[in-house]
Structures are given as C-alpha cells and as structure tokens.
Structure 1
Amino acid sequence: MCQYGVKTLLAILPSGGGALVSFVLTEKKIPFEVVTIDLEAKEHKAPEFRALHPFGQLPVLDEDGFILYEARAICRYIEEKYADQCTSLLPKGLKERALVEQAVSAELANFLPHAMKAAHEVTGQSPRGLNADQTVVDEAVAALAATLDVYEVLLGKHRFIAGDEFTLADVFHYAYAPLLAENGVDVMTKNGPNWNEVISYPTWRKLKAEGIKGTVI
C-alpha cells in the first residue's frame, strides 16, 4: 500500500525540469506545495532566489529546509528516499540499474538537446520569441527522428526505454516530449505504439488533465 511522505515545496514550471519533479512526486503519491516563480519579472534571478539556486534556475525543492536543485538530482533523491513507496522508479539490481543509467545518459546526450531546441522554437521560448525559425525546428526534429529510430529498436526488445519496467529513464523524457506532441511535432507520436505508451503514461495524463496542483489523492 502506498504511504504518504512528508510535505515538500517546489518552485516549478508545467514543462521542463519542474514537470519531471511533479511527475515523480505524483507517481510516488507524495503531497507537495507548488510555489509559482514569475519568470517575466525575473524572480528567479533575485538574490533571495539565488540563495536557493545559485544559477537562478528552476526547479528547486525545499523539504523542511533541505534545499536541492537540478531536476534529475531531485528526482533521484525522491526515488531513493521513498524507494519502497508506490512505484519503484529505479531497480535494485546492479546490472539493471546500470542499464537505467545508461538510458538516462543516452537521453541526455541524444534526445534532450534536439527536443529542447525544437520545443523552445515552437513554443516561442527561443531568443526570437514568438517568431519561430522553421529551419531550426526542422533540423531539430530530423535529429530527434534519428534518435527515435534507435528507440524503436530498443522498444522492440523491451516495453520501456531501459527494460520492461517504467523507470526514471522514461520519466526524464517528459520534460519536452509531450510538449512537442501538443505543438504539432508529429515525430513524437508516429514511431510506434511502445513510444506512445511511454509518453502517455497514466500519471502524466492525470497531471495534464488536472494540472500540477501539488495535491495527491
């Protein structure tokens, strides 16, 4: 049976690293409070916020005074602390865990750079603002498609990215994969049913439908 953990505090966005942290907290059924940071007002660059995150970035976790930043570090911390609560997102076996870390490294090197570049363009978050450069989008999507071709080979051997169990290796794709799909980048949804299963995991559908509220029921 799932047990609730302590209340946590986050400064997050509905995509990017904040989405990853929200996903893991929700999957582990850990209540958390959302603190909204106004990026346009540059609250994340204010001295009081930099005291929490010296680079002035999101997300940040504040757990009863324990401050942790960088989404992947936060997700690993949550999983390690609540390893036996609800879904286990990291295997206990040495070789199985090594395969997850291998997949995480591959995502960071081969998926994230292209997905983030395309997402920033199509959502108006690039330096050009709302004037997306279609050439940049096309190049990023082409590179992403090459990565997804490799994923299809992997997903032909097992259910999820690093094996037959859903892990942090899959979670880390939620920073930008669904955002691309929602903005008409079809490459995210036409590479087979297994990939669709990864990016349409029930917890993500719940977060998208209900919003990131910080309350887990």
Structure 2
Amino acid sequence: MTQLKLYYDLISQPSRAIYIFLKKNNILFEGKTLNLFQGDHYSSSFESINPFKRVPVIDDNGFILTESVAILRYICQTRPNIPDHYFPKDLKLQARVDEYLEWQHTNTRICCANYARQKVFDPLITGKSPNEKSIFNLEKKMINTLNELDQIWLKNKQFLCGDTLSIADILATCEIEQTKMSGFDPFVGRSALLQWKFRVQSFLNPYYDEAHNIIQEMYLKYNKIEKNLQSNL
C-alpha cells in the first residue's frame, strides 16, 4: 500500500493538528514540508496538488484532500485501529464533535488565526507595525471566544465534546496556542481552559510539544522585530 503523503508546515495550526494526530496514532506518512514564509505554497507544482494554495493536504494513493476537518474525519473512518473517541461511530456522540467543528470556523479558528496573522505574521513579513485599532478589535473578539470555550464548551466537561478527547480538542488547542506567538497568554484567568489544555497536551505528548516548538521560535522572532519597530518610533 502506498504511504500517505502529508503536505504541511508546522507554522500552520491545522497542519499541526494533522501532524499530531498521525503521529499519535502511529500512522505512517511521507512528510512533504513547505515553507509558507518563502511562498512554497504558491509554486506551480503545489498549485497542481491544491489550487487553493493552502496546507495541510493529504495524498492517499492518489486521493487528494485539502481541508483539515475533512482530513481528520477521513482518516478516522478509513484507518484501522483508530480509537473511537476521536470521531465516534455513535451518531449522537459524533454529532457533538461535529457541533464544535461547525462552531469553530467562525469562532476559534477565525478569531485566533486573524489575531496571530495581523499581530505577528504581517509585521514579520512587511516590517511594519500593525494597526492598533484593528488589533484591539481582533483581540476583543478573540477574548470573547476564549471565554466561551472556558465557560460554556468546557462547563462540567473534561474535553470540548464530552469526557473523552476528540479531533475537536486537537484542532482547538492548535488554534489557541497560535496566539502565544505575540506573548499573549490565552489561559490566564481561564482555569477550565488551562486544565483542559494540560489534559490534551498530556494525552498527545510527546507529539504535542514537538509540533508546538515552533510557537516559541516565532515568539522570539516577533519579539525581536517588535523591539526594532519600537526603537524606530
């Protein structure tokens, strides 16, 4: 059987989620790393694989899939010996996971991603300070989402969708961790969110920490350029 191919860059939150999931479940794959900062995803060779020019992407013996949620569902349903708690076969339990996966697109995903992009990635790429009003509004929306995760999604639960870890938890932690690149700590004052993060991290280690080493690397790069921008004011 041809080995699964994964096109990814660990700077990408969904890429980290897929990477962690594959590693944790001992699914062999051929890693095809891209450098998003260098624009590898805009190359004609990658565009022929994914015309949307985004990662992650899998190639499963010629079957190409481009969206992280779809990829995780597909792997859960096609690979043997994947523990049922990741994406349960029971339709009601499965619906709980899907409930979060639908909610996250306009909440955890967009809020954390937009904040990190404008606060960290844009200054690193352009060398220019972000618009403070825009950052303030993005942070306000993100804080509201983090509070809903802490106070609603995790109320009386060990994990987002119940008392066992699912693919929802993997996607969510990768999005939330992204905000730490700017020095923002999403877990301060949110005890349920913090304890949940520890549970997810402990369950998925050593692969969780391995995939998230890049967060500290990016924080150091951001901190350096932030100091330079401030000194030029």
Q: TM-score, normalised by structure 1?
A: 0.82
In the alignment, does 2:129 pair up with 1:141?
Answer: no
In the alignment, does 2:6 pair up with 1:10?
Answer: yes
C-alpha change, 1:145 and 1:68, in structure 2 (3 Å) is same
Give the equivalent residue in structure 1 for 2:193. 195
Aligned counterparts of 1:132 and 1:199: Cα–Cα separation in 2: 29
Give the equivalent residue in structure 2 for 1:206. 206
Give the equivalent residue in structure 2 for 1:55. 52
Quick one: which amino acid aligns to residue 174 of structure 1? T
Aligned counterparts of 2:33 and 2:19: Cα–Cα separation in 1: 13
Give the equivalent residue in structure 2 for 1:164. 163
Aligned counterparts of 2:37 and 2:168: Cα–Cα separation in 1: 31
1:19-168 mapped onto 2 (5 Å cutoff): 19-82=16-79, 84-86=81-83, 88-125=85-122, 129-130=126-127, 131-151=129-149, 152-168=151-167
Q: TM-score, normalised by structure 2?
A: 0.77
Q: How many residues were matched structurally?
A: 207
Quick one: which amino acid aligns to residue 7 of structure 2? A
How much does 1:6 deviate?
Answer: 6.9
Aligned counterparts of 2:31 and 2:197: Cα–Cα separation in 1: 23
Aligned counterparts of 2:51 and 2:123: Cα–Cα separation in 1: 23
Identity of aligned residues (%): 21
Quick one: which amino acid aligns to residue 137 of structure 1? I
Quick one: which amino acid aligns to residue 132 of structure 2? Q
Q: Is the 8 A contact 2:9 2:35 kept in 1?
A: no
Aligned counterparts of 1:109 and 1:17: Cα–Cα separation in 2: 15
C-alpha change, 1:48 and 1:141, in structure 2 (3 Å) is same
Q: Is the 8 A contact 2:76 2:87 kept in 1?
A: yes
C-alpha change, 1:86 and 1:6, in structure 2 (3 Å) is farther
How much does 1:86 deviate?
Answer: 4.3
Comparing 78-87 and 19-28, the one that deviates more: 78-87
What are structure 1's unaligned runs of at least 5 residues? Answer: 213-217
Q: Is the 8 A contact 1:21 1:75 kept in 2?
A: yes
Aligned counterparts of 2:39 and 2:69: Cα–Cα separation in 1: 23
How much does 1:87 deviate?
Answer: 6.4
Aligned counterparts of 2:153 and 2:209: Cα–Cα separation in 1: 30
Aligned counterparts of 2:174 and 2:135: Cα–Cα separation in 1: 17
More helix by share: 2
Give the equivalent residue in structure 1 for 2:184. 185
